């Protein structure tokens, strides 16, 4: 009996112990879902776990320095740099990290795509002039002013959705070429044509006809990007000492209507683009600085006018000079849509550049960039007079070997105002764009040809041309790491002649200035790592 009880007790204990151990075993874990490569849309995409959406993360880190120029290779064509005064910085540096997020999902309507591009940036200001409104810490709040110690700022380029041929959001215009303002340069300031490389709000639709042939049509928001300025030349001090006026554009009433037809094949790209743009003035009666007053509304406004632009663009690939060599070229004409000729990655510049003179205190060249001007009244311009502009730009790019390449690039742009300097009705008013501008210019620059024959005969003409010529060389020591050096020459061919005594923007003195063409050069260097 004792043996029997021992055996039965031991068996019961073993059963209890086994049950307890079974209860303590962990629940079987779910299989780990590893990231899967998505090969549908090219290298770098992977599936978001648990979905059928593919995502690609990318971007670059870039360090730029421009000597005798502004951010991103802007020539010294206005401001403290244009004056070459003691407030200017001899160089400007910018560091940027760009992040891009690209998602794509296959559907019965085609691929649904979202894309975002944001930049984290830090830079110096370009000048220390306390009277300035941009690039200083004492006046005006601009994004660059956040570049304090330990600071910086975020800039947004592209944010859009694509679905069934439509694009919604902030993207490059349907008017633009695939290379925008970069046929072979790194400077974001090559004039002569359109550039929307940092995006604008728009809606567009692209139809693919096969064989590389496509057509796009879109509606662009013009408020931030595609306007230059409208001058009301009747207001007090309508033309300032730098040859420019205050912007009297009205609010946005209509989007720009844009489109293109493109052929993209192995030999290259051929594209024709067109755009329609509304030009509108705020009021006939305005205070200095184009500010409204209590007489503005009751005195009416000029009728709006539609302007526009056209562009032809060509890229030729597979040149006999070497593998990967190409030529890019675009030609533009605009009437009331000057931004599609005098275009940068930001706003359209006006020009105010100083240099040496043989008889005056200094020489100066002015160039006012506008979409139109008006002088209200019976003896005025009869409404807004649209500004005409045309330009051409291009580049030849050559690969010396897999590690070295160069591009030779250039541009030429022309801005024209209708009429003659003395157009008026019995001397009572200015009847053309040029007549109105020159009357306002004479009011703020009263001492024309003050030294007689030595200065030559004074004549007023706001027309101008600008030319650029540059050379860039790139070194790629390892994949996705590029070092670049770009030299650029800029020439302002202004059409004023003679001289004038006037009070220039401080720190320049009240003195005799000779009207003369101007030149400047810059050097931009860059290190960039793509990922």
pLDDT bucket at 385, cuts 50 / 70 / 90: very high
Residue 134 pLDDT? 44
H-run or E-run covering 21: helix 2-24
- Measured between alpha carbons, how far is 328 from 408 in angstroms, rounded to an integer? 11
Q: What is the mean pLDDT of residues 145-165?
A: 90
Q: How confident is the model at residue 132 (pLDDT cuts 50, 70, 90)?
A: low
The answer to whether residues 473 and 485 touch, using CB atoms and an 8 Å cutoff, is yes
Output the 3-class SS for 109-169: CEEEEEEEEEEEEEECCCECCCCCCCCCCCCCCCHHHHCCCCCCEEEEEEEEEEECCEEEE
Helix (H) or strand (E) run with residue 365 in it: strand 362-367
Specify the pLDDT at position 34.
Answer: 73
pLDDT above 60 for 100: yes
pLDDT of residue 103: 98
Rounded Cα gap, residues 458 and 78, in angstroms: 23
Q: Give the per-residue pLDDT at 139.
A: 41
The three-state secondary structure class of 17 is helix
**What CATH code is assigned to 63-94+184-530?**
2.40.160
At residue 16, does pLDDT exceed 90?
Answer: no
Angle ∠(205,210,211) on CA atoms, nearest 5: 130
Whether the CB-CB separation of 428 and 234 falls below 8 Å is answered with no
Contact (Cβ atoms closer than 8 angstroms) between residue 326 and residue 316: yes
Give 396's pLDDT tier (boundaries 50, 70, 90). very high
Other Cβ atoms closer than 10 A to 304: 14
Percent of the chain with pLDDT over 70: 89
Q: Which residues contact 327 (CB under 8 A, 6 or more apart)?
A: 314, 315, 316, 319, 394, 395, 396, 397
In tens, the pLDDT along 285-343 reads 999 999 999 999 999 999 999 999 999 999 999 999 999 999 999 999 999 999 999 99
Asked if 385 contacts 393 with a C-beta cutoff of 8 angstroms, the reply is no
- pLDDT band for position 150 (50/70/90)? confident
Cis amide linkage into residue 507, ω under 30° from 0: yes
Tokens standing for residue 128: 């220390």
pLDDT digits (tens, 9 = 90+) for 339-354: 999 999 989 999 999 9
Q: With the CA atoms of 50, 55, 61 and 66 taken in that order, what torsion angle do they form, in degrees rounded to the nearest 10?
A: -150
For residue 81, the 8-state DSSP code is H
Handedness of CA 177, 407, 489, 329 (dihedral sign): negative
Q: Judge contact between 342 and 349, C-beta under 8 A.
A: yes
Number of alpha helices (DSSP H) and beta strands (DSSP E) in the chain = 3, 27
- In the prediction, which pLDDT does 124 show? 84
Q: What is the pTM of this model?
A: 0.89
Distance CA 64, CA 75 (A): 14
Helix (H, G, I), strand (E, B) or coil at 85: coil
With contact defined as beta carbons under 8 Å apart, do 278 and 255 qualify? no
Exposure string (b/e) for 429-468, b if CB count within 10 Å is 16 or more?
bbbbbbbbbbbbbeebbeebbbeeeebeebebbbbbbbbb
């Amino acid at each position: 009996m004792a043996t029997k009880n021992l055996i039965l007790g031991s068996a019961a204990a073993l059963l209890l112990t086994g049950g307890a151990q079974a209860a303590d075993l962990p629940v079987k874990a779910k299989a780990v879902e590893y990231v899967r490569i998505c090969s549908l849309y090219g290298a770098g995409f992977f599936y978001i776990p648990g979905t059928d959406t593919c995502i690609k993360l990318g971007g670059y880190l870039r360090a730029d320095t421009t000597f005798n120029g502004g951010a991103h290779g802007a020539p010294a064509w206005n401001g403290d740099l244009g004056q070459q005064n003691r407030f200017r910085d001899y160089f400007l540096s910018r560091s940027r990290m760009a992040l891009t997020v690209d998602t794509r999902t296959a559907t019965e309507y085609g691929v649904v795509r979202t894309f975002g591009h944001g930049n984290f940036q830090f830079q110096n200001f370009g000048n220390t002039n306390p009277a300035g409104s941009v690039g200083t810490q004492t006046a005006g709040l601009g994004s660059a002013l956040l570049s304090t110690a330990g600071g910086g700022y975020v800039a947004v380029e592209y944010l859009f959705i694509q679905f069934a041929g439509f694009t919604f959001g902030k993207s490059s215009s349907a008017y633009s070429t695939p290379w925008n303002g970069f046929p072979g340069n790194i400077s974001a300031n090559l004039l002569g044509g359109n550039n929307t490389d940092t995006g604008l709000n728009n809606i567009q639709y692209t139809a693919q006809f096969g064989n590389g042939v496509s057509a796009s049509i879109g509606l662009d928001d013009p408020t931030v990007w595609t306007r230059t300025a409208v001058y009301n030349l009747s207001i007090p001090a309508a033309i300032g000492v730098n040859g420019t006026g205050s912007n009297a554009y009205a609010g946005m009433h209509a989007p720009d209507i844009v489109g293109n037809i493109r052929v993209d094949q192995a030999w290259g790209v051929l594209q024709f683009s067109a755009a329609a743009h509304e030009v509108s003035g705020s009021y006939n009666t305005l205070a200095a600085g184009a500010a409204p007053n209590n007489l503005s509304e009751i005195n009416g406004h000029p009728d709006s006018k539609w302007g526009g632009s056209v562009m032809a663009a060509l890229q030729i690939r597979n040149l006999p000079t070497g593998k990967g060599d190409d030529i890019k070229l675009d030609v533009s004409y605009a009437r009331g849509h000057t931004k599609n000729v005098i275009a940068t990655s930001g706003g359209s510049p006006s020009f105010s550049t100083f240099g040496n003179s043989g008889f005056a205190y200094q020489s100066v060249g002015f160039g006012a960039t506008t979409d139109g001007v008006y002088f209200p009244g019976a003896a005025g311009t009869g409404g807004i007079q649209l500004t005409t502009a045309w330009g051409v730009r291009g580049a030849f790019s050559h690969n010396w070997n897999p590690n070295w390449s160069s591009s030779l690039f250039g541009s030429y742009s022309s801005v024209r105002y209708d009429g003659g300097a003395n157009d008026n009705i019995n001397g009572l008013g200015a009847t053309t764009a040029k007549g109105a501008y020159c009357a306002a210019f004479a009011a703020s620059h009263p001492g024309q040809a003050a030294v007689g024959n030595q200065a030559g005969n004074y004549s007023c003409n706001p027309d101008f041309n600008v030319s650029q010529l540059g050379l860039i060389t790139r070194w790629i020591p390892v994949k996705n790491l590029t070092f670049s050096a770009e030299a650029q020459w800029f020439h302002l061919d202004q059409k004023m002649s003679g001289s004038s005594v006037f009070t220039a923007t401080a720190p320049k003195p009240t003195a005799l200035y000779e009207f003369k063409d101007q030149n400047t050069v810059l050097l931009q260097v860059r290190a960039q790592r793509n990922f």
